[in-house]
């Protein structure tokens, strides 16, 4: 199975999710999304696959969310995607994307089991 994980090794949930994938015998492509942020188009596609809106995937507790005033920002999809792509720390993690066009947010890590 072709599988990519948008991973932050400093995040315990992301590490747990990666461990579950590897325990299932799958060697995923690991995208360190903070170092290699998704483009707005990539983020929009991940959101489509997840069935989510950007404000549902945003990490509102991050200091940059406060600096950008996200709490009061109108829910304009394109603007949120642009801000999240420019500030990838705002993207909730981990995100798993399969080669056959499925995706899941690994929060909690057990949420990925249906994908595996």
Residues assigned a catalytic role: 11
Cα–Cα nearest to 68, from 50, 51, 84: 84
109: phi then psi, degrees, rounded to nearest 5:
-55, -35
3: phi then psi, degrees, rounded to nearest 5:
-145, 135
């Amino acid at each position: 199975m072709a599988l990519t994980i948008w991973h932050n090794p400093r995040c315990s949930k992301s590490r747990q999710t990666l461990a579950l994938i590897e325990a299932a015998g799958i060697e995923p492509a690991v995208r360190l999304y903070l170092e290699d942020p998704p483009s707005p188009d990539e983020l929009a596609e991940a959101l489509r696959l997840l069935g989510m809106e950007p404000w549902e995937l945003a990490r509102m507790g991050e200091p940059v969310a406060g600096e950008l005033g996200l709490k009061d920002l109108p829910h304009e999809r394109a603007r949120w995607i642009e801000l999240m792509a420019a500030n990838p720390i705002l993207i909730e993690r981990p995100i798993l994307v399969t080669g056959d066009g499925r995706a899941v947010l690994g929060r909690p890590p057990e949420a990925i089991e249906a994908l595996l």
